Amino acid sequence: MKLTIQVNEGPYQHQATDSAYNFAVAALEKGHEIFRIFFYHDGVNNGTRLTTPPQDDRNIVERWSALGEKHNLDMVVCVAAAQRRGIVDDGEAQRNGKDATNIAPGFRISGLGQLVEGAIQSDRLVVFGD
């Protein structure tokens, strides 16, 4: 089955992001295809490489990056939500005159159309959040 996963909550604050990750891992193990993972609302905070959790805890951002690299996943951070919350890549830094970037490896910033397209192209849209 072809899946698009939507993550609506930030890391550590909310279990939704852990559940989404575990679901993605399980789906891939079962041979399903993940068309896209779309990060929205505070979910965009899953995509900052500046996250530094305590060493005895899981590193949620690095975990996403590793999964993305292993399976060549399309992990998209919503641009409108990212701009509000300060998730920045090179293009956004240039466009908005910011002096830094923080996007984590494997993530890209793009528009909400990517979420809608994912819902159209996939057999299921699976949403994680309250």
Q: Which residues here bind other proteins, judged by CB under 8 A?
A: 6, 40-41, 80-81, 84, 111-113, 115-117, 119-121, 125, 127, 129
Nearest-approach distance from CB 58 to other proteins, in angstroms: 26
Contacts of 119 by beta carbon, 8 Å cutoff, 6+ apart? 4, 125
Which tokens hold the place of 1?
């089955």
- Identity of the amino acid at 34: I
Nearer to other proteins by C-beta: 61 or 115? Answer: 115
DSSP state of 116: H
Nearer to other proteins by C-beta: 1 or 116? Answer: 116
Nearest-approach distance from CB 69 to other proteins, in angstroms: 28
Contacts of 39 by beta carbon, 8 Å cutoff, 6+ apart? 7, 46, 47, 75, 76, 77, 78, 81, 107
Nearest-approach distance from CB 1 to other proteins, in angstroms: 14
Nearer to other proteins by C-beta: 65 or 122? Answer: 122
Active site residues: 78
